[in-house]
Structure 1
């Protein structure tokens, strides 16, 4: 996704100040520039970033004092997050479990990942059992904040799962997006893109778990923020027929977001057996004839996924926790399905990353 140069400069300046904080006299900077110490300290704590007004006051002074250049600031944020959406116009195909299991693989590889729950039903939020009382702010609060000051307060770090995993929860208020009086129609359509641009320099990957909406705000707005969209499908004729309609719709969305790439479809909840594998091969050939990329990696229908998430872990994190002795009440004899699930998602994630890298 292209990003606004000024947004990059604003966030690059925030990163520079955080890196240099031990060498800086915050009181002197505040006095010289007129930017409040409160604002500077919020940036240092990672609770805010700078807007254009702050930048215009700060940059000339820091340039004079330290020889700071715009090129240095751009370099600090050039590795912006990849924005991946998981969507299908058909519900019940496993978008949520796939999205979050891929997030688990990425964090296990040392990547910093944010899962955005873009569905007012809050399936990703429920999957991780987010405590609403402890973390009351949600995605709708961030979307309605046109100043972009609340987004970091809405994000929850899942410390007990992985220091690298974060979620932007949804508790149901998102259902009011279409009728919100705080946003114009244009602001609603651009709301997801706006909050993503505020934080995309702080993560390696942002994964969007979308609801099965078509020709509505709940698909158009998130897809307007995404770089890639991936479609989980089941090996059933009904699911496969919907794939063609989904891809046609995504091609239409590219008119509004020319940077959106259709990453392809992958089969989820597949069952062992010759008949289904032949069915999958036939569906894949049909999809490829229509120009739809189909992943070679498949996700088997496995109780391992459900067992892992029962403990509030994806398969990858579950096995890490088990091996570290943090899960003592699970029989070792029942690990095989979870190992299979982890293996499937590792292969899928590897292929997905290769797909992104090769464009």
Structure 2
């Protein structure tokens, strides 16, 4: 059965979409069957995976409004092992269009539950705000992965997000948990990045991934080419970082002996 992970942070510009794209692609590269769901009206995950968001007949918007089935909206194998439920600017009207719709917080969950066994991982890119789209993502997800930019106000934004997740857990999805925090845009040349990492680690009682995503020019360039980093520049620091994150996510639900076997297989393949 597929693990459903929402990539969320109410603060914009923290590497949320970059993480959704590249984690999805690196999980697919590891042979996992992945569905990526773009719930952000900006559609950056959609275009970042090489799909022309302005030329789509059916998107998640049509699905949420009941104008198309999930199967009609999913684009199969945009890259090997990775399918996409795309988004574009039309989705910005969903908040108003869904007013008065019964059970509107669970539209995505009700339908994803029917197909989640077809995938190893379902990764949901959330909008950088708390609205009906984010709520749908969190009622659908098993866990929330939180990217945090290594900058001064990181902890403040994170505290707000943890409060939101706890509210959703109390009222709508009792199974929801925080998958973990991943640091992004880390600059080893600055004391600030190191201070932020240490500050969050000392103040936050949450799982923190060992992998830290660095500031990387190739990571910033990849979306304009419609490619995840592992296809755009496979040997870049950014690609290796997201591969390491994917490995951590894969190992998270494994038993200790399975982790050892997975690690050994990776070593033999030179990864």
Normalised by the shorter chain, which TM-score bucket?
0.7 to 0.9
Q: Which has the larger radius of gyration?
A: 1
Give the distance between the partners of 2:101 and 2:202, measured in 1 at CA: 39
Paired residue for 2:21? 100
- Normalization by structure 2: what TM-score? 0.85
Change (3 A) 1:285 1:165: closer
CA–CA separation in structure 2 for the residues paired with 1:196 and 1:127: 22
2:227 maps to which residue? Answer: 313
Partner of 1:170: 87
2:243 is the counterpart of 1:346: yes
Alignment match of 1:212 (pick from 128, 132, 135): 128
Distance 1:225 1:81 in 2: 12
**Counterpart position of 1:120:** 41
User: Take 1:356 and 1:176, find their aligned partners in 2: how far apart are those partners?
Assistant: 37
Shift of 1:319: 4.4
Q: Which residue does 1:334 correspond to in 2?
A: none
Of stretches 230-239 and 134-143 in structure 1, the one that deviates more from structure 2 is 134-143
Conserved? CA contact 1:143–1:195, under 8 Å: no
The separation in 2 between residues aligned to 1:210 and 1:133, in whole angstroms, is 19
Contact 2:211 2:245 in 1 (8 A): yes
**Can you list the C-alpha shifts for 1:102-156, whole angstroms capped at 9, x where unaligned?**
111111111111110011121111223423576410001112229xx71111011
User: Comparing both chains, which one has the higher relative contact order based on Cα–Cα distances under 8 Å and sequence gaps of 6 or more?
Assistant: 2
The within-5 A match list for 1:265-276 is 265-273=181-189, 275-276=191-192
Name the counterpart of 2:110.
194
Tell me the residue number matched to 1:253. Answer: 168
- CA-based RMSD: 2.2
Q: In the TM superposition, what is the alpha-carbon distance from 1:264 to its structure 2 partner?
A: 1.8
Gaps of 5+ in 2: 256-271
Q: Cα 1:189–1:347, aligned 2, differ >3 Å: closer, same or farther?
A: same
SS in 2 for 1:206: strand
Following superposition, the deviation at residue 274 of structure 1 comes to 5.9
CA distance in 2, matches of 1:83, 1:170: 18
Which one of 135, 138, 142 corresponds to residue 63 of structure 2?
Answer: 142
Q: TM-score if structure 1 supplies the norm length?
A: 0.66
Deviations 1:78-123 (A, max 9, x none): xx21111000010110111111101111111111111100111211
Mapped contact 1:287–1:294 kept (Cα < 8 A):
no
Provide the secondary structure at the position in 2 that maps to 1:348.
Answer: helix
Q: Residues 108 and 225 of structure 1: is their aligned pair in 2 closer, same or farther, counting only changes over 3 Å?
A: same
Deviates more, 1:339-348 or 1:150-159: 150-159
Answering whether residue 2 of structure 2 is matched by residue 81 of structure 1, we say yes
CA distance in 2, matches of 1:121, 1:179: 17
Q: How does 1:222-237 map to 2 (within 5 A)?
A: 222-237=137-152
Give structure 1 stretches of 5+ with no counterpart.
1-79, 321-337
Of Structure 1 and Structure 2, the greater strand share is in 2
Is 1:239 aligned with 2:158?
Answer: no
Secondary structure of 1:283's partner?
helix
Task: Report the Cα distance in structure 2 between the residues aligned to 1:202 and 1:135, rounded to whole angstroms.
Answer: 24
| Mapped partners of 1:272, 1:212: distance in 2 | 26
Distance 1:174 1:274 in 2: 38
Mark the CA change 1:254 to 1:356 in structure 2 (over 3 Å): closer, same or farther.
farther
